[in-house]
Amino acid sequence: MMLNNRSTRLWGRVLSLVVSLSVFLTFWLIGVAHGQTQETYKRPPREILEVLHAPVTPQVSVSPTRDFLMLIEGVRYPPIAELAQPMLRLAGLRINPRTNGPHRNPYIVSLVLVRIADGAETKVAFPEGARPSIPRWSPDGRHFAFLNTLENGIELWVGETATGRIRRLVEAKINAAYGEPFQWMPDARTLLIQLIPEGRGRPPEPPAVPIGPTVQEGSGRPTPVRTYQDLLRTPHDEVLFEYYARAQLALVDIADGRLTRVGSPDIFQMVEPSPNGQYLLVARVHRPYSYLVPHTAFPKEVEVWDRSGRLVYKLASVPLQEHVPIEGVPTGPREYAWRPTEPATLVWVEALDEGDPRKRVPYRDRLMMLKAPFTDAPIEVLKLEHRFAGLQWGERGGWAFVRDYDRNRRWRRTFLISPDDRTIAPRLVWSLNVQDRYNDPGTPVLRSLPNGQRVIQQHGEWIFLIGAGASPEGERPFLDRFNVRTLTSERLFQCDERSYETIIALLRDDGTEVLTRRETPTDPPNYYVRMLSGGQAAPRALTRFSDPTPQLRKIRKQLVTYQREDGVQLSFTLYLPPDYTGGTRLPTVVWAYPIEFTDPSVASQVTGSPHRFLTIQGPSHLFFVLAGYAVLDNVAMPVVGDPETVNNTFLEQIVMNARAAIRKAVEMGVTDPDRVGVAGHSYGAFMTANLLAHSDLFRAGIARSGAYNRTLTPFGFQNERRTLWEAPDLYIKVSPLMAAHKINEPLLLIHGEADNNPGTFPIQSERMYHAVRGNGGTVRLVMLPHESHGYVARESVEHTLYEMLAWFDKYVKNAPPRERVETGR
């Protein structure tokens, strides 16, 4: 039979389709046989979804003049389509090439301005489809500015506080990919912005044919680095980084939108206006770049410019920082900034130990200062015995708090210094373990000066301290005033024993009127104006948010304390389902995160409060409570020991911690010891896999975004200081991948395909899955498209909850009884 050309083409297409279908079915069947499928997104039960998508209390921002309040509601679960936007991974950055801004650019969906005096509200009307950034107040509080992200660029908008009216100031040519895209100048009338350079042209195309290999070479010097992600990998990456990061600085007048360009386009890691607005402190990044470290470690020129962009003073030429020791600092000037209470005075820190924390030296750092016009020699303000850890300036009187940190003891000290009078010796104000919550004096309250700079709020000789008020009974936030002359404190306010109330802002200089955020187990968070003098009048409510999830009020919550075998005091927060009947033993979820301590007494301290209003958001383990589980939340998981060797007993201590928590819950009559699951995220996932490998306390585990092979993080992990070559046995011992053959309980692994957290490469979960499965274990691997270390897309969050609930329902809640319960191998 003869076929014409048309018939031949038709049969060719049919044959091609049949072959393609056969190939597809073959590979699909192979995939199914090997446990590999592409699933559609699933959703948890309706009662979970109702809580997941319930509204939450907005965040607030108080104006610098303390007369207005912003109520800010951000988008919580963007659609996966937003995460699927194009992404360039360059030098530790994630850039959307369409917008020339961050790939994941959080935005708000509602902004309300509240006048604090009378509670009057003005809702800001954004354009339809707008994606505004969190607004920033002008120094005088009369205006606010924000970015608006479009499909193909980023705009700058400005608003009036009194009326809430907004208008576009700069069209879609803001460069937000790197550095600070906009900031207020001290005059409160001008914004310093970053623009896409004019005439930039189209993005550079990758070479169609490689011109040669990509080469890296060591110089013979030690180069210990963490396992950073999203680094530069090729010469083309380098030119892409320059294309998107290079910006043109400009000043824009908010009254008429007039633009004045400043200097030439460059790659600005930092630009900070001086308090008097006459100078700019600039850090410009340049070649040679690195394929080992992110942009923060690239070479840079640190300079002072005038407002036209003319070089006035060069502070430092900082070389590439590939050779900085782990937990070390670079040599030369660092932590450079303006002194906020002076017109134009530079302050910075320099290492005296070559940046190496292991060197024995009498002083590790020194604080330096130089005033405009920058023609004199810099002044050494003081030397610090330990590593510089922070500097805060008093509002008046020329004093400051400077902190240092002793990493060997994990100890922080705070000194009061007088930089302008070196005859006054530094005075030790506080000295305590950085993890000591019970003795924490609090954090100084800051305020904005008229130039926009932040300083410690001061009333005469008094400053104010806000603290969590941690105690064995839980947290009771407080407000103290502290005398900088006598170094004594007085308590002005402490939350009562039945609520959780925190200080948001001081509304008067003397601290007698404050803005607070108050909640109880039955009352949702709301904002109040409270008077702290003239008697305890009832606070005045500024907001009246109602309970969005009344079904959660029936959940029982209790702070529980107990001891582990060696006497270390531990705690967890117990959650019981709404319909719980006393004495019923429930399937139980243990959620924890290991933390290292040097002091057992500090490790024993209680965290959290039983008086918080319960909300459940994101892929939270607390949703298990609505599915009939008891949840042991924030189970204390201390690992106590010398910082250099604490992980030598990591496995023994986490098993001891878990055993103690389960034993306590069983004693209380709420936990069925035969139906307990363990779960954790990141380092908690590492803990989860190890607990399954080295104990028989649990029926199943859920490990999210974890690292399981420590040989892939060879220069340290978490707070481990030794390298793989210094402690090879430890790295092998604590790697659950090496004990995958011991995991005989079902393990669910979840990981974001775009995880960029140092150390938790997605391959960690992939290899752990292969190891457990290859040894005959029951294991499931869920890779979430476009998600990073935490999961944010609506579809991802819902699917994660579905997976978690289904896994524990199958392997914990409905697990068949075991003949005996092991307490550890």
Residue positions annotated with a catalytic role = 682, 755, 789
Contacts of 71 (CB under 8 A, 6+ apart): 58, 59, 60, 110, 111, 112, 113, 114, 543
Lookup: tokens for 518: 């108050």
Strand spans (E) along 286-438 = 300-306, 311-318, 334-338, 345-351, 365-371, 379-384, 387-393, 400-406, 411-417, 427-433
d(CA 707, CA 686): 6
Helix crossing, 683-694 with 650-667: angle to 10°? 80
Residue 116 CA to residue 428 CA, distance in Å, equals 38
- The SS3 of residue 621 is helix
Give bridge partners of residue 516 from the DSSP assignment: 503, 528
- DSSP annotation of 291: S
Contacts of 419 (CB under 8 A, 6+ apart): 367, 369, 381, 382, 398, 400
Which candidate, 283, 320, 286, 333, places its Cα nearest to that of 303?
283
Do 628 and 47 contact (CB within 8 A), yes or no? no
The residues near 164 (Cβ < 8 Å, ≥ 6 apart) are 113, 122, 123, 124, 125
Residues in the chain: 825
CA 249 vs CA 139, 240, 453, 518, 594: distances in Å:
20, 20, 21, 43, 45
Tokens 């400077």 map to which residue?
402
Are the CB atoms for 723 and 716 separated by under 8 Å?
yes
Q: How many CA atoms lie within 13 A of 257 on its CB side?
A: 9
- Cα dihedral 697→698→699→705 (10° resolution): -150
Tell me the backbone φ, ψ of residue 621, rounded to 5 degrees: -65, -20
Measured between alpha carbons, how far is 334 from 225 in angstroms, rounded to an integer?
A: 19
